[in-house]
Structure 1
Amino acid sequence: MDGNESRADEKVWELLEHISIADPGNEAFRKAVQLAPRVDDPDELLAQAARHALVPALADFLVQADLLRLVPHHAQRHLLGTLHWNRFKTRRHVAEAERVTTAFRSEGVRVACTKGIVCQASLYDGRGIRHFGDIDLMVLPEHRDKAAEVLYRLGYAGAKKYDHRTGELMEISRSVQVMYQLYPDHLPHFFRIPADDEGMPYFMVDVAYNLTWYGSSWQVPMAQVLDEVAGVDSRSASGRVTLPALDAPYGFLFVVLHLFREGWFERTIREKDVRLGQCADVWRFWERFGRDRVADIRKVVAEHALEPAVAWVCRHVDDVYHSTITGELGLDGYCDDDWLHSAGATDGGHLVWQGSLRDRLRGRRPLVLRPGAEPLFAAAARFSPA
């Protein structure tokens, strides 16, 4: 980072860190209530919340704490509108996820929901404060073609993207199609434009069939991952439903490994570097489910040699929230500083970055990556994911 002028205001950032893991009545919530009146730049607060996909969480906190008055009137309207839209969108996504997963299972496709559609319920109590934009699913590799067939029957189109100018679907670029072919760990996104006119421009479904990514030595058999699928109760547009989700050890590891994937590879760093909300997911998952299943998580990590990637994420999350996940998992020995500050270059080389992850998250400017020597563990993660 190049000086304090390139970072978010410290008071704003400290408040956002607490809001990201705040639930009404918990310690983070109480601390955020104390910090909020000290923030004298609401525009910076809104900008950073938007950058880290935390606007619904910020709005909910200000409402629950009766502190909405701390932001200007028109900003209040924007915050409340975003919160209500996110809650509406979440209910619609849950209903659609239930429709899709029911169809999958009726055709014998073993499936689990992942990421936002699950986290919003299990980690954020279904309050509609966890931002997400698609329905993430995980299936067995041998079921990927059947999964695509089911989605086509449900009205989805594959290998498309939504054109926000026209409101129509368009083909993904040839280069993106080739990337999916070169790194086959999930299908090109599926889109469906709803026939009704109730505010949802589209539904997007992302079907993955790898807990990590193609080309890495860190592989976990998907039959093992999907052997025990849990149920997550969630509120949909039509009532309460139960969505299939990964069992806690695999759910935790998927959240962790997804953060590593976006935070270590140069391509994803350039496109969408890690967000504070992703760190909050890891912290929340650990506090709610991970610590109680620590033995199971450690067993899976050791069985599949996932220690370096899990340690990379957990140590950085610990630094943000002053938590102790890394030590509780017994991974302190994988926290070599060169490894923690490394990144995988798109050309196959190695890159380094400076500062803490907290600095990186606070930074207003793109992360500075410089050529570096190959660190420990990098070879195991080598190939850049799709």
Structure 2
Amino acid sequence: MARAPWFPTLDLGPEWALLELLCPGPLEGHRRAMFLRLLRGGVHGGELVEQAMRHRLLPVLADSLRDEEVADLVQPSLRSELVGALMASRRRNATLARVAGSVCRALGEAGVPVAVTKGAALEPTVYGGRGCRRMSDVDLMIHPRHREVVSRIMTEAGYVNGLYDWREHRIAPLPRDIQLTYRLSPDHLPHYLRVDEDGGVIAVDFANSLTWAASDHQVDMDDVLGVLVPVRALAGEVELPTLAPRFQFLFTALHLFRESWFEASVERGNDRLLKFADLLRLWRADHADILEGLPEVVVRYDLGALLGWVLVHTDRTFGTSMAEELGVAGAVSEGWLASARAKGGRGLVWTGTMRERLHARDRQGLFAPAPAAPVSSAP
């Protein structure tokens, strides 16, 4: 039996529903019809833009204006601001794509397998290469045994570890507490920065784990980087190595888990609709390849609970059936779905739906201490 079309409810307002409609992909069919109906009914432009900015979806919202019927329903002043945001995103993304290509070439010549992830991988593929997937830095995946050679190559290329001081347009030394954090959590190298000619900064982030350093669930990076898929960006100007579909999807889901399960990340507002949009668009684009390769990986590395947490919440929010199709729906309980982790490692719980949590502007007070009996085993 065919699944009924998914429609977002309007209990959180038409502005929020518009953003939810954009997450699965370009507007079409029943989603487009509802999008137009909501616009005709009237929306608050300021509210819509604020929510889109908070969830890094402003360029995606602007991209919807390619539909002339949508564009005609948007006030000219708002339409102008959205187009400006999209143009800025295109320029920034092009710069970062070229940086990603340059860094990947340098590492490849040194015999270091590397893959682009997040925006650099998704923008030219599941987002259509139109600049609508906002990028703030270049995210790359390497094997932990290559950390030293990567550090040397990046240093020789003029990058430094530090923090960007936008007021002075300079890179300040990395504070000692942040240096200590990277030493204690070696799943990432410190960001490599260089001042950009256009008045900004270029940041390159190297991850060497699909999860995080303290997690009991580690995926063999030889497996992850064993097969890379080349992707053309900027109309073929740049070739970028990406992860195979099963690992691209898995990394995207596990990154969403990390940003949405840890209290510190949630309080910083890192659990955004954009991350769900990434997952939904990957599923839509690579459904067959993900289904073919991912279930065995999930079993091999015991990732059912982590992946199930993400996919069940996504399914309930967007009417998909990813958890069931990948065989992880039974790996989660309601207690596990309502769990989180405090800064000091204590268990937390939260109530309500994921969409209600994402909609909330106040990130404080979302969680409460878990009861004395553990909600579930920690990952």
Tell me, yes or no, if structure 1 residue 60 matches structure 2 residue 63: yes
Task: State yes or no: 1:51 paired with 2:49.
Answer: no
Q: Is the 8 A contact 2:169 2:199 kept in 1?
A: no
Deviation at 1:69, TM superposition (A): 4.6
Write the letter of the residue equivalent to 1:372.
A
C-alpha spacing 1:155/1:30, structure 2 compared with 1 (3 Å): farther
Counterpart-to-counterpart distance in 2, 1:26 and 1:233: 29
The question of whether the paired residues in 1 share the 8 Å contact of 2:245 and 2:289 is answered with no
- 2:271 partner SS: coil
2:187 equivalent in structure 1: 185
Shift of 1:330: 1.1
Q: Please point out which of 130, 133, 153 is paired with 1:130.
A: 133
Residue 132 of structure 1 and its aligned partner are, at CA, apart by: 1.5
For structure 2, list consecutive stretches of 5 or more residues without a partner in the other structure. Answer: 1-9
> What does residue 301 of structure 1 align with?
298
Q: 1:241 aligns with which of 238, 243, 260?
A: 238
Contact 1:218-1:306 at 8 Å conserved across structures: yes
Q: Is 1:354 aligned to residue 351 of structure 2?
A: yes
Q: Deviations over 1:171-190 (max 9, x none)?
A: 23221111111111010001
How many positions carry a matched residue from both structures?
Answer: 367
Which stretch has the larger CA shift, 106-115 or 33-42? 33-42
What pairs with 1:283-362 in structure 2 (closer than 5 Å)?
A: 283-362=280-359
| Residue number in structure 1 paired with 2:375 | 375
Corresponding residue for residue 34 of structure 2: 31
Name the SS for the 2:234 alignment partner.
strand
Q: 216-225 vs 57-66, which deviates more? A: 57-66
Contact 1:345-1:351 within 8 A present in 2 as well: yes
RMSD: 1.8
Counterpart of 1:168 (choices 167, 170, 174) is: 170
Structure with higher RCO (Cα < 8 A, 6+ apart) = 1
* TM-score, reference length from structure 1: 0.91
How many angstroms apart in 2 are the aligned matches of 1:89 and 1:134?
A: 9
- Quote the Cα distance in structure 2 between the aligned partners of 1:63 and 1:200: 30
Give the whole-Å Cα distance in 1 for the aligned partners of 2:67 and 2:169: 36
Map of 2:115 onto structure 1: 112
Aligned to 2:4: none
CA contact (8 A) 2:15 2:47 kept: yes
Structure 2: distance between partners of 1:168 and 1:29: 45
Superposition deviation, residue 287 in structure 1: 1.4
Contact 1:249–1:290 (8 Å) recurs in 2:
no
1:366 aligns with 2:363: yes
**Post-superposition shift, 1:155?**
1.4
1:4-54 CA-to-partner distances (Å, cap 9, x unmatched) read xxx984211111101222315455344323332223311111111111101
Q: Which residue type is aligned with residue 232 of structure 1? A: V
In structure 2, relative to structure 1, the CA distance for the partners of 1:95 and 1:371 (3 Å cut) is: same
Query: Separation in 1 of the partners of 2:148 and 2:115?
Result: 16
Structure 1 residues 219, 172: closer, same or farther in 2, change over 3 A? same
Could you tell me which runs of 5 or more consecutive residues in structure 1 were left unpaired when the two chains were aligned: 1-6, 382-386
TM score, norm. by length of structure 2: 0.92
What secondary structure, in the 3-state scheme, does the structure 1 residue paired with 2:56 have? coil
Bigger CA drift: 225-234 or 25-34?
Answer: 25-34
CA contact (8 A) 1:318 1:324 kept: yes
Rounded Cα–Cα distance in structure 1 between residues aligned with 2:216 and 2:11:
37
Query: Residue type matched to 2:71 in 1?
Result: L
Whether 1:211 and 2:214 are equivalent positions in the alignment is: no
Residue 167 of structure 2 aligns to a residue in which SS?
A: coil
Identity of aligned residues (%): 34
Does residue 275 of structure 2 align to residue 278 of structure 1? yes
1:333 positional shift: 1.1
Match of 1:268 in 2: 265
Q: Deviations over 1:166-212 (max 9, x none)?
A: 11111232211111111110100011113x4xx35121000111111
Distance, in Å, in 1 between the alignment partners of 2:145 and 2:361 is: 43
Aligned counterpart for 2:150 among listed residues 140, 147, 151: 147
Write the distance in 1 (CA, Å) between the matches of 2:191 and 2:264. Answer: 18
Report how far residue 350 of structure 1 moved: 0.6
Quick one: structure 1 residues 27 and 192, their matched pair in 2 at CA, closer, same or farther if it must change by over 3 Å? farther
Partner deviation per Cα, 1:63-122 (whole Å, 9 max, x = no partner) = 424433544443332211110010111111111110110000001111011111111112
Letter in 2 for 1:225: V
CA contact (8 A) 2:93 2:131 kept: yes
